[in-house]
A = this chain, B = another copy of it.
């Protein structure tokens, strides 16, 4: 089937995170349309709005179809100006805000750029501190710090531990350490001594052995480390260890860090720092 084409703009007076998330979620429901996406951030002056309008109108006339615009502009003057461009306009704030004001029986602040600003992100310091913790305890370093960890992610080398821990820190402010299982530990099948005092904080990651082999080959291509037999053996031993020690685990093969992070939060009952 031939794909449809459409220009789409995500336009924000701030970081663009809300506009992108909002637009992307909706557009991902249309896999048979090829979207040509422009993200415009910090569109907070008439001048910048006019530049956006020019881009939108250009896209409209060159494609013959009105671009889809997902906007999160708070300022009403700017919003109306932008809405006047040659587009199909979807406005997150305008759609819901007056309704919310009624329900909450209070006025909204109409403050620009607050949702991802430093002032408004209560747990911001905690998120940065959690990220430092993840870096300092990455790959089995500073196991002395495990007392301060909320979760210790365990798995074979290249099973996805580091990205998962950094994501847990940055997104949720969770103190996440990670520990790679060594050859010797995998051979004995016994939970490493350094982990036993923290059994209730352990969470396992596993991975399809063929995917693991692929990742290892791309990065190192050391014969034994990336051999099919080695990868299968390590994964089987790690999973056996998780089961024996009653460590909950997830398979990272088909999951993004966003999915892994959300699932881990759900399964462990950890709470994000706001």
Residue with the greatest number of chain B CB neighbours at <10 A, chosen from A92, A115, A219, A262: A262
Closest to A118 in B: B256
> A95 touches which one: B72, B93, B95, B119 (CB < 8 A)?
B95
**What is the distance, in angstroms, from A47's C-beta to the closest C-beta of chain B?**
14
- A148 close to B (CB within 8 Å): no
Chain A contact-residue range equals: 35 or more
**Chain A 88-131 interface 0/1 with B at a Cβ cutoff of 8 Å (1 = within):** 10101101110110011110111101111111110010001001
- A29 close to B (CB within 8 Å): yes
Q: A128-B257, A170-B166, A170-B257 are in contact. Are A29 and B108 (CB under 8 A)?
A: yes
For this chain, the copies found in one complex come to 2
Within 8 A of B (CB), among A227-262: 254-259, 261-262
Chain B contacts for A259, CB-based, 8 A: 14-15, 113, 116-118
> A15 touches which one: B6, B111, B113, B262 (CB < 8 A)?
B262
**Chain A 130-174 interface 0/1 with B at a Cβ cutoff of 8 Å (1 = within):** 011001001000000000000000000000001100110010000
Nearest 3 pairs of A and B residues by beta carbon: A15-B262, A29-B108, A25-B115
Other A-B contacts than A30-B109, A42-B263, A113-B259, 6 sampled, CB-CB below 8 A, are A16-B262, A26-B97, A29-B93, A116-B258, A118-B255, A124-B256
Chain A to chain B contacts (Cβ below 8 Å), 12 pairs:
A15-B259, A15-B262, A21-B115, A41-B262, A42-B262, A68-B100, A90-B99, A113-B259, A117-B256, A119-B254, A132-B162, A135-B162
Interface residues of A (CB under 8 A from B): 4, 6, 14-18, 21-22, 24-26, 28-33, 37, 39, 41-42, 66, 68, 72, 74, 88, 90, 92-93, 95-97, 99-100, 103-106, 108-111, 113-121, 124, 128, 131-132, 135, 138, 162-163, 166-167, 170, 219, 254-259, 261-263, 265-266, 272, 274
